[in-house]
């Protein structure tokens, strides 16, 4: 496992997943970078549920504190996602993104 400067932990499996995802879509590399969003629902009908997703984001004008590199792949990690993942670990299992640990 490795830790980003914001405190988010990730596994080698997550790094491999990100690299494979990035390489599968070379048409985006010129202007966009992967962006990882994490949402954890605290109350309501979906309380306790969480979602993680990778999308493409234009790289221009993103703040430095939201930019990271994993396996030589640039990654945008919004401040809210950094905060939500602080006590958790990014992983990949069976071709899916997984988040482990933490507390609600």
Does residue 35 sit within a domain?
no
Does residue 58 sit within a domain?
no
Does residue 99 sit within a domain?
yes
Q: What is the pTM of this model?
A: 0.86
Q: What's the residue count for the chain?
A: 104
Q: With the CA atoms of 46, 43, 91 and 25 taken in that order, what torsion angle do they form, in degrees rounded to the nearest 10? A: 60
For the chain, the domain total comes to 1
Degrees, nearest 5: CA angle 80-83-88: 125
Pairing mode of beta strands 9-10, 96-100? unpaired
CA 16, CA 27: separation in Å to the nearest integer? Answer: 19
The series of mean pLDDT values per 10 residues for the chain, 104 residues long, is: 91 95 87 91 79 91 93 94 90 92 59
pLDDT of residue 53: 93
Q: Which domain holds residue 7?
A: 1-14+86-104
Does residue 101 sit within a domain?
yes
Does residue 45 sit within a domain?
no
Classify residue 18 by burial, with Cβ atoms within 10 Å: 0-12, 13-18, 19+: buried
């Amino acid at each position: 496992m490795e830790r980003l400067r914001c405190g988010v932990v990730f596994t080698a499996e997550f790094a491999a997943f990100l690299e494979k995802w990035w390489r599968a879509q070379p048409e985006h590399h010129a202007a966009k970078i992967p962006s990882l969003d994490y949402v954890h629902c605290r109350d309501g009908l979906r309380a306790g549920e969480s979602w993680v997703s990778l999308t493409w984001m234009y790289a221009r004008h993103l703040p430095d504190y939201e930019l990271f590199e994993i396996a030589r792949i640039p990654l945008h990690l919004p401040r809210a996602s950094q905060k939500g993942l602080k006590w958790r670990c990014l992983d990949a299992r069976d071709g899916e993104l997984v988040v482990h640990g933490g507390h609600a």
